[in-house]
A and B are shown apart, each in its own frame.
Chain A
Amino acid sequence: MNRRTWIHAWLMLLPAFVFLIAFTHLPAVTTLIDSFWTTGKGRRAAVFTGLGNYRKMLEDPIFIKAMVNSAVYAAITIPASILLSLAMALLVHRSFRGVSLMRMAFFTPTVLPLIAVANIWLFFYAPGFGLIDQIRLVVGLPSANYVGQPDTALYAVAAVTIWKEAGFFMIFFLAALQTIPQSLREAAAIEGCGRWTFFRLVTLPLIMPTTLFVSVNAVINAFRLVDHVFVMTKGGPDSATMLLLYYIFETGFRFWDTAYAAALTVVLIAILSVVGIGQFFLADRRVHYK
């Protein structure tokens, strides 16, 4: 009797697991194995090199540049998009004329393809006739080439990411805010509790699980969202916007050095795992669950 339930359960899981293992777990394992070999070229077969690919990384200036860029990119986009999305949610979590229009404005970037909107942003940044430059000229500032300058290109790309993500995260905060009972608000009002105090002592602890969920997603996206780099900068100028995932793409599919690309992927997986798991355990204690 029980055995039959087991078999039924396993049969129901089988199709999903075939795909899951074939395209997620198995490739993750073979990536790790491949990273210890060299790339076979033509008649020259791949040979075992141990940590050779990883040693190569330490001497690869573009890899180091990509790691630094990814760190900066994450350090900008994660807090900025979380704070902005929380502010947006607090803004539209009330009723006034035009609130649905405002909510729509914030959410629109979520449904637009990043690859498509990158073109529009490219125009905003365009030196001379772009929107930002037109404003600069009116104010009397000199023309600036945000995407073409190594010292501003990464920030220009990060701005697009923040724009894309904030509205998406807002939805989750909005959902969390709606679960806060009105009675708490009334009680606080009777106690003469200020808005800021209410936010700090009631709202913030209650939305902590959402904040955790959003920040895990923000971390993952900080390493995953590179579509606009293809349109805006292609990693340039002078590797200024080279991000880890974009570098994996270039190594694997432009230079066809698949073994080195595998080693780079292992680094990316390691970062995601450490950050994801670490965040979960660290934040676990401070999260207020029902």
Chain B
Amino acid sequence: MIGETLFDRVLIRGGGALLAFVWILPLLYAIWAAFHPAAFEARFDLTAPLTLDNFASAWSQAPFARYFLNTILLVTMILVAQLVLCTLAAFAFARLEFPGKTILFTLILMQLLVMPDILLVENYKTMRALGLVDTIIAIGLPYFASGFAIFLLRQTFMTIPRELDDAARVEGCSLLGLLWRVYVPLGKPAMLAFGLVSVSHHWNNFLWPLIITNSVETRPLTVGLSIFATTDSGTAWAVINAATLMTSAPLLLGFLLFQRQFVQSFMRAGIK
């Protein structure tokens, strides 16, 4: 680095380490509180005994197994629908010429600003009209057509050389065959990137699921946790922290195991 003195280095590293510590602190604290008896939730004694009781009592006090199942169903359903719908649309925008292309693409981009997340009242009315209130499918429906996914995949598809199209056409490939045999395989890294972003977004999504669900059978983890963890319900901090860790664990573990791919996916999704 240009003109870096030892003093600079110590200052920057020290400041960086402190910042990183503050950023990881909430997670460290949650781990501390979850694995220790309630008596140690605000007392940081290194000799404190370890325990798994908090997890056991959180698991038995609320139907977390069902919440996990609901969330897994939800994120899988959303991801599959998004990939199918958005790949088709992105391919049309990237490779085909047709009337109305610009207007339709503008309509897609509008969704980046006006997301379904803020159209709560009307979307609730729509779900009621469809008789879908309090179903898992209703949580997912507004997110099936993702403007972001269409945009991202279109950008990727546009970088694929047209020579491949012609080669496939000569071989007698249909349009859908071309998409399936050439574009989908080559677009896989972008799809993986979007997949990670989508799964972590919908695993963590809260407001819309809160509104549209009202029973154990449909509630995802985030909503279940918020009902379980209200401090005035008298649940112990340690148990709340155990539940918090439990609901975040799958994503957190996935992130720790595939840190590189995760970071690269988010990077790729952000480069426009």
Interface residues of A (CB under 8 A from B): 5-6, 8-10, 12-13, 15-20, 22-28, 30-31, 34, 84, 87-88, 91-92, 94, 96, 98, 100-117, 119-124, 129-131, 134, 163, 166-168, 171-172, 174-175, 185, 188-189, 193-195, 198, 209-210, 213, 220, 223-224, 226-227, 230-231, 245, 248-249, 252-253, 258, 261-262, 265, 268-269, 272-273, 276
Contacts and interface: CB of A to CB of B under 8 A. Distances in A.
Given A34-B122, A103-B263, A110-B266, A24 B244 contact: no
Interface stretch (B9-17, B48-56, B165-173): B9-17
B200 A194 contact: no
Contact of B113 (A109, A220, A245): A220
B187 interface: no
20 contacts: A12-B92, A16-B85, A17-B145, A20-B145, A23-B116, A23-B126, A24-B111, A27-B123, A27-B126, A34-B122, A110-B200, A111-B251, A112-B248, A113-B221, A113-B225, A115-B204, A124-B29, A227-B207, A245-B207, A249-B211
B120 A9 contact: no
Contact of B24 (A108, A134, A166): A108
B2 A189 contact: yes
A12 B4 contact: no
Given A25-B110, A106-B20, A110-B200, A15 B88 contact: yes
B222 interface: yes
Contacts of B271: 172, 175
Given A123-B29, A249-B211, A10 B42 contact: no
Given A112-B27, A115-B225, A213-B272, A273 B206 contact: no
A171 B116 contact: no
B244 A15 contact: no
Contacts of B144: 19, 23
A22 B126 contact: yes
B270 interface: yes
Contacts of B21: 105
Contacts of B69: none
